Amino acid sequence: MNIVANTEPRIQDVKVTSDTITAYLVDGRVLSVPLAWSWRLSEATAKQRARFELIGDGQGVHWPDVDEDISVEGMLHGVPAHRPQTFVHLKYVQPNGQRKPSGKRLKRSQKARRSTAKR
């Protein structure tokens, strides 16, 4: 008889404090990462942080009130969530990722103009 144990880490419970996100795994391990790894949870209320759903048989956690998902693999491998850029930042970015010039000409100072004129 061959018994195969599930070695994939799975979350059993989660607690979020003002400093940390702590995942309690089925196999007894406890993972803790800084709350700052999730900007959405950092900005959420305690009530919103307390309302979560385990997803994928414990492979991750979903917070519906703030639309945040964190996987056990992400916690194990140190993958924080990055805040998306705002529209103000994106209006100067071209599709290839390069920044567009602002269209404004930079004025040289009088000192810089004088030093160029002496040459």
Residue-wise pLDDT for 31-78, tens only, equals: 999 999 999 999 999 999 999 999 999 999 999 999 999 999 999 998
Domain-located, residue 28:
yes
Q: What is the pTM of this model?
A: 0.65
The terminus-to-terminus CA distance of the chain in angstroms comes to: 90
* 101 in any annotated domain: no
69-86: pLDDT as tens digits: 999 999 999 888 888 876
Number of structural domains the chain divides into: 1
The CATH number of whichever domain residue 75 belongs to comes to 3.30.2020.40
Range of the domain at 83: 11-90
Distance between CA atoms of 64 and 18, rounded to whole angstroms? Answer: 19
Per-residue pLDDT, 82? 81
The reply to whether 95 falls in a domain is no
| 106 found inside a domain | no
Q: Is 79 inside a domain boundary?
A: yes
62 domain residue, yes or no: yes
